Every structure is written in C-alpha cells, then in structure tokens.
Amino acid sequence: MFAYTGLRRTELINLNWDDINLGSKYLIVRKSKNRSQRIILLHDRVIKLLDLYLNLRLPLKNNALFIGRTNQRIHHNSLKNLFDRYIKISGLSGKGYTTHTLRHTFATRLLNKNVSLVNIKNLMGHKSLESTQIYLHVTGKELGESINML
C-alpha cells in the first residue's frame, strides 16, 4: 500500500474500512499530518489485494483496516516488525528500507511518469512544493535522458 498510495505510516494505521471505496477505487485520508483530508485514487493492484483481504476479514468485527493479533488496530511497532520481517525475507535487510522509503518511491515513480509536481504534492498531502521536492530522487541517467529530449 505504501508504494502505491504514498501514505505515511500513521495514515495507514488510522485507515478504516469506511475510508475505502473499492467500487470507485479511492481512499480518504481523514487524519493526516497537516490535519487536512485528501482523497487518493487506488491502483488496480491495490484494489485486488484489498478485496482479497476484505474477504479474509469478513465478517468485519473491527472497522480498522489493518488489525493485529488481538483483532485491534495494528500498532506502530507491530507494523514496523512486520515490515522488517518481510524486508529480511526478501533479502533487503541492512539496506535502509523503511515504510517511509516507500513513500519516497511513490513520489519518485510519479515524477518518472511525468506527473506534475502539483499533483504529486496533492497526492502526498503536502502543503508546499518544497516539502514534495525532498521526496523526489532523480538519477544522473534520468537527467541525461531529459537533456536528450531537447
């Protein structure tokens, strides 16, 4: 979800099922860092995974989107441990990957697809373009390709 939505860890943890509209393919971030709401359109891959996850969770006994072993909203530490476990399984331990790294990846992938900085800013929930620019990572190869487009 992080790589396809750009959500902050706290935003993901605070999501509820009623913040998700699978039919219209969007989610609403109601509790963001800057206290403003935003709508994020969902990629088809995320829709499919959420649909599978929903079917595993039915009947819903808790409105929280992601729950832990106690059937309560997942805790920050549990999410970090789960993420770290999958990073280790994938052989990426020690390379500095965090959930926040995936937020950077989201912004960079959008930029590489020629999405405007203003749209990236809005999707990330930033108040200013300066905040968004911190997340954008452009390689030397990409800069060279840009010059060759002239």
Q: What band does 140 get if pLDDT is binned at 50, 70 and 90?
A: low
pLDDT tens profile 40-88: 999 999 999 999 999 999 999 999 999 998 999 999 999 999 999 999 9
Based on the residue annotation, tell me whether 103 is a catalytic residue of this protein: yes
pLDDT tens for each residue of 110-135: 988 889 999 999 999 998 998 888 87
pLDDT at 142: 64
Residue 89: burial class (beta carbons within 10 Å; 0-12, 13-18, 19+): exposed
Q: Identify each DSSP E strand in 4-139 by its residue range.
A: 20-21, 26-29, 38-41
Domains in the chain: how many in total?
1
Catalytic-labelled residue, pool 33, 45, 48, 88: 33
Q: What is the CATH number of the domain that holds 108?
A: 1.10.443.10
**Choosing from 4, 103, 104, 121, which is the catalytic residue?**
103
Residue 28 Cα distances to 41, 88, 134, angstroms: 9, 31, 24
Tell me: the pLDDT tens digits for 91-103? Answer: 999 999 999 999 9
Structural domain range at position 80: 2-148
